[in-house]
Structure 1
Amino acid sequence: MEVMFRSNSQQAIGAFVLGLGLLGAVDGIVFHQLLQWHSVVMHTDRHGQIESDGWFHLATTILLAWGAILLWHGGRDGFARLPVRQLIGLVLLGGGAFNIVEGLVNHHWLQIHHVKQGDPHELWYDVAFLVWGAVMVAIGLELCRKRFRQG
């Protein structure tokens, strides 16, 4: 893992945090708002669902801002800029980590919601969500490794 962070570690952490926030925001926009498949907390009334989604969106917005600030700050004071391939790899690692943790905790362990709540195939949607997270992590790791093999 240390190999991935040869550039400024603040930038690397910022890219990872940005990925967490970005995938959280995409999850909230696509699954919560556009498709309306679920809310963060499904086992409550509509007001509770809207409120739980609001807290979720606030958290993802904070992660996005924090990641952007770390990236910006890490690129100052003469530090080497994070290579684009590594930036994308770290964002994918953060996004994949979001999917894996959110999927395991909320969908499987706590069962506070599922990707497509109430669907006869909801387990397969939950598994696909985890697989997509694992794919993002694998691609992210490969992008970070390639940078250092070639350079």
Structure 2
Amino acid sequence: MTTAAPPDRRLLVAGLLFGAGAMGAVDEIVFHQLLHWHHFYDRSTGAVGLVSDGVLHAATWSATVAGLALLADARRRGVWAPRRWWGAVLAGAGGFQTFDGLVDHKVLRVHQIRYGVDLTGYDVTWVAGGVLLLLAGVLLLRRSRSAAATR
């Protein structure tokens, strides 16, 4: 026998999925498609890189749609809490960006932000931006929890 997640947790998961999916889509659209700086997996042929971009696109789109479906369910159930939702969206976006910058770029080395340039400024900007989004999301989530507790 399984039980559904509490409504508050579903709203949190909805925001995290939407935020991570949206940030992944922005990364893919801007850096992969418009600027042509890299593919998701750059350690093989260009064809493999394009396929990896397609897989990333499918994953980010799926996360975004799942997040919106959970959001619609939360609104239908009457548990919509805008501050909590936006905190989770920011945390999801920041979590995706920080993970990408640290794990994908530096640990796994599946790609870099850009090639043929000094990466220091790009890496610092990418990871710092992710950390700032993540911290803003966590702070907003904490505020939403304390505001709910005082009601």
1:11–1:72 Cα contact (<8 Å) kept: no
Aligned-pair Cα RMSD in Å: 1.7
1:40–1:49 Cα contact (<8 Å) kept: yes
Partner of 1:8, secondary structure, is helix
TM superposition shift of 1:149:
4.3
Match of 2:25 in 1: 25
Q: Does 1:138 align with 2:98?
A: no
1:78-123, CA deviations, whole angstroms, 9 ceiling, x for partnerless residues? x3212x222211100000110111111110001111111231x113
Tell me how many residue pairs correspond in the alignment.
143
Match of 1:55 in 2: 55
Structure 1 102/35 Cα, relative in aligned 2: closer, same or farther at 3 Å?
Answer: same
Match of 2:122 in 1: 125
Match of 1:10 in 2: 10
1:40-81, CA deviations, whole angstroms, 9 ceiling, x for partnerless residues? 11122221111111111011011011111111112223x321
Q: Quick one: which of 95, 99, 109 aligns to 2:97?
A: 99
Where does the alignment leave 5 or more consecutive residues of structure 1 unmatched? Answer: 1-5
Aligned counterparts of 2:110 and 2:89: Cα–Cα separation in 1: 26
TM-score with structure 2 setting the length: 0.86
Aligned counterparts of 2:137 and 2:112: Cα–Cα separation in 1: 25
Structure 1 139/7 Cα, relative in aligned 2: closer, same or farther at 3 Å?
Answer: farther
Where does the alignment leave 5 or more consecutive residues of structure 2 unmatched? Answer: 1-5
Tell me the percent identity: 32
Q: Does 1:86 align with 2:96?
A: no
Aligned counterparts of 1:62 and 1:19: Cα–Cα separation in 2: 12
TM-score with structure 1 setting the length: 0.86
The equivalences for 1:32-47 within 5 A come to 32-47=32-47
Partner of 1:81, secondary structure, is coil
